[in-house]
Chain A
């Protein structure tokens, strides 16, 4: 039988290749940038020319190697305490990626759980969750993090906690709304008419449709986590001074911005590039993961 239009089998290239093609250059650039930072973070101990906390006060504030007065042993120069900027950037990437990954995962798990429950059950459960989210979002996020860090005390754990506490709402809101949209579709009605329980409908029918959305949110959230870490470092409630972070480096560089601008410039560059990378990755993945080509 032939129903017009599609006659004969469709040539279907491999799923992955087709997906990447849909993602376009955004996806490639995103994968490249994120991959670059992840690689640096993983290999920092092997790649870094110096120990990131090794001080050499005699060669403090050296400019990058290509500028006048630079030294080849410190390719990107040194900071006020004579520590190698390149090495510190690399180790800071470790911290940044780790914080982003852990914080985004926890925020996602909590947010998705709340979002699914609210979206699926509706009624008073939804009312409670939605109001909770509303109230939560009325707090200025940075302030909330600062208060939180002040309570738990500085350190990586409190940075992660601050991000999770502030950002789970991001997942919860979107997942709740999308769950409701999907439940309105007839395939959800069809599943109900087949006698599937709510849990089954959620797990077998709705969740596969939420995957692209969640993956995208997750990538974007990792970029946001990096920014939040920088902000918290900037106000001085991040990790202890001896652990290298991009935020911490920016703070240190700010004090000598006129004498040695590169100390601040390099970490800023890393932050910008990684956040752009995560955003492009999220954007590209959204297109790549959607098998339904929407016109």
Chain B
């Protein structure tokens, strides 16, 4: 169980700051700073941070939609951090991503049947038209959608149904590793819980290894074994779920936990502890 499927070493991503100086090299802005992760096979890592923490960038690095500026990513013993697109292609089938906004992550002009089986088609795993329909139907079934949805367009689905379809596509190639980026944040509470439980069930059934990115610590608790807290691109705390929630070490983790409004009446919550901190002005006078 302790075999590490994905490991990052000093993973860093920076992009050139726009128009920082007219001549000479533009200054680099680091959004992910020297991150070390070790994700055991079959486990789920929660990646938590607020806006600007670099969590989405980190997620896109892990599936190599982005190329690291420095540092490495080892997937199943293979260094993938600087592989070319060509060399990466055979590995792509084993590494998948589920996107935040299913509205934009499903091609609006393709029926679900086509979108879901596109991965199989690309890897030549389809045997004719009937096989395509069968495989699509099986995938829909896996995520709890009616088989009749193969002929539907994304706009004919509700938000929760679209997110299920997004999950189905990621599962089509039976990957080992999935990055899920804020996939429940746009959903209603009632839908959200269904999706969370679906992921938990799929994970147990298919032995998936996952990185679950979220801004919401409460959601992370439902699904994850380990939690990594990111602040301004840096890993500030990383450990097992129980430890992070029961005895958070880093002040930022504590601040995050105490800021979550629990659905309990708590008279002092609005005027206690952290008084209104005058916020820093941002982006001005650049």
Contact = CB atoms under 8 A, between A and B. Distances in A.
A195 B93 contact: yes
Interface residues of B, number: 47
A5 B158 contact: yes
Interface stretch (B7-15, B22-30, B69-77, B103-111): B103-111
Interface in A1-15: 1, 3-6, 9-10, 12
A205 interface: yes
Contacts of B63: 193
A197 B118 CA distance: 13
A194, A195, A196, A293, most chain B CB atoms within 10 A: A194
Contacts of A186: 99-101, 104-105
A129 B118 CA distance: 31
B65 interface: yes
Interface in A167-215: 185-187, 189-197, 200, 204-205, 208-209, 211
A208 B107 contact: yes
A56 B145 CA distance: 76
Given A3-B160, A189-B65, A291-B153, A194 B107 contact: no
A288 to B, nearest CB: 14
B265 interface: no
B122 A3 contact: no
Contacts of B93: 194-195
B154, B156, B190, B191, most chain A CB atoms within 10 A: B156
A60 to B, nearest CB: 57
A3 B158 contact: yes
A77 B107 CA distance: 56
Interface string A3-29: 111100110100000000000000000
A185 B103 CA distance: 9
A225 B25 CA distance: 48
B97 A189 contact: yes
Contacts of B95: 193
Question: Helix, strand, loop or mixed for chain A's interface?
Answer: loop
Contact of B188 (A4, A189, A190, A293): A4
A4, A193, A197, most chain B CB atoms within 10 A: A193
B269 interface: no
Contacts of A194: 92-93, 96, 118-119, 122, 173
B158 A209 contact: no
B155 interface: yes
A190 B96 CA distance: 8
B125 interface: no
B62 to A, nearest CB: 11
B148 to A, nearest CB: 6
Contacts of B99: 186, 189-190
A289 B122 CA distance: 27
A190 B65 CA distance: 9
Interface in B228-261: none
A204 B158 contact: no
A6 B155 CA distance: 11
Nearest to A205: B107
Interface string A222-261: 0000000000000000000000000000000000000000
B40 interface: no
Nearest to B179: A193
Given A185-B104, A186-B101, A190-B169, A10 B156 contact: yes
A135 interface: no
A292 interface: yes
Contacts of B157: 6
Nearest to B195: A3
A9 B161 CA distance: 13
Contacts of B173: 194
Given A1-B144, A1-B194, A209-B109, A195 B158 contact: no
A291 B109 contact: yes
Nearest to B181: A186
Contact of A1 (B89, B145, B159, B166): B145
Nearest to B105: A186
Contacts of B108: 187, 209, 291-292
Nearest to A293: B155
B178 to A, nearest CB: 10
Nearest to A192: B65
A124 to B, nearest CB: 16
A245 B20 CA distance: 58
26 contacts: A1-B194, A3-B158, A3-B160, A3-B161, A4-B190, A6-B161, A185-B105, A186-B100, A186-B105, A187-B108, A189-B60, A190-B105, A190-B169, A192-B65, A193-B92, A194-B92, A194-B93, A194-B119, A195-B89, A195-B93, A200-B122, A208-B109, A209-B108, A211-B109, A292-B109, A292-B154
